[in-house]
């Protein structure tokens, strides 16, 4: 029986792989050896032979599973849809097509992502103080909106019209943030 810590570690590993792979599934699946034909986005027979169970070619005739499956990667998760066995993502597709054990599949995907059993990037995320300094620096480097510039044209196209001489904000960044209804001291207490 797997203890809770091992189970949590496996779940963290799986979530880490999924988050790192998000938006990269097509290239990951290609690198794992999934046939390009499967990933072409066209309707086709379902490649998940063991899971689908959809009839292939009855004796004497017509293909009944010609267009049941389509790889779409619609949500960046290696998404596919089969009108017989349902929907799934890159992990399920890779395991079904390659027929390898799940832990081995995870190892291969981690190698593709260049992160084999590395700690999560979240552990090295910037501190809140560093992010605050970065935001302040960006604000200080900002320039005012000038009538007719790119920002003014963007706002006008969305129905926000600045009159000549009108500024969105006057004074330092703190005043502007307070005008928007945020309390700068609120985050410091947390």
Say how many domains are in the chain.
2
Q: What is the pLDDT of residues 8-57, one digit of tens each?
A: 888 999 999 999 999 999 999 999 999 999 999 999 888 886 666 655 55
Determine the structural domain holding residue 132 and report its residue range. 126-188
- Is 119 found in the same domain as 93? yes
- Residue 160's nearest CA partner among 147, 173, 170, 172 is 147
Contacts of 134 (CB under 8 A, 6+ apart): 126
178 token code pair: 């307070």
Pick from 123, 141, 167: which residue ends a domain?
A: 123
Q: What is the pLDDT of residues 69-109, one digit of tens each?
A: 899 988 999 999 998 888 999 999 999 899 999 999 999 99
Determine the Cα–Cα distance for residues 85 and 100; give it in Å rounded to an integer: 19
- Is 63 found in the same domain as 147? no
**pTM of this structure:** 0.54
- Is 66 found in the same domain as 144? no
């Amino acid at each position: 029986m797997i203890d809770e810590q091992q189970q949590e570690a496996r779940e963290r590993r799986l979530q880490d792989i999924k988050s790192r792979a998000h938006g990269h599934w097509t290239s990951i699946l290609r690198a794992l050896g999934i046939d390009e034909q499967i990933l072409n986005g066209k309707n086709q027979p379902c490649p998940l032979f063991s899971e689908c169970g959809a009839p292939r070619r009855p004796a004497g005739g017509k293909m009944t599973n010609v267009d049941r499956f389509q790889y779409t990667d619609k949500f960046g998760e290696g998404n596919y849809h089969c009108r017989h066995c349902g929907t799934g993502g890159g992990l399920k597709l890779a395991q079904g097509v390659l027929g390898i054990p799940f832990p081995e599949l995870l190892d291969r995907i981690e190698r593709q992502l260049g992160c084999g059993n590395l700690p999560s990037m979240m552990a090295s995320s910037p501190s809140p103080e560093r992010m605050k300094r970065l935001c302040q620096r960006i604000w200080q480097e900002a320039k005012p909106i000038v009538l007719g510039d790119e920002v003014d044209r963007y706002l006008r196209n969305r129905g926000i019209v600045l009159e000549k001489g009108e500024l969105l904000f006057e004074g330092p960044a703190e005043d502007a943030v307070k005008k928007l209804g945020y309390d700068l001291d609120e985050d410091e207490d947390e």
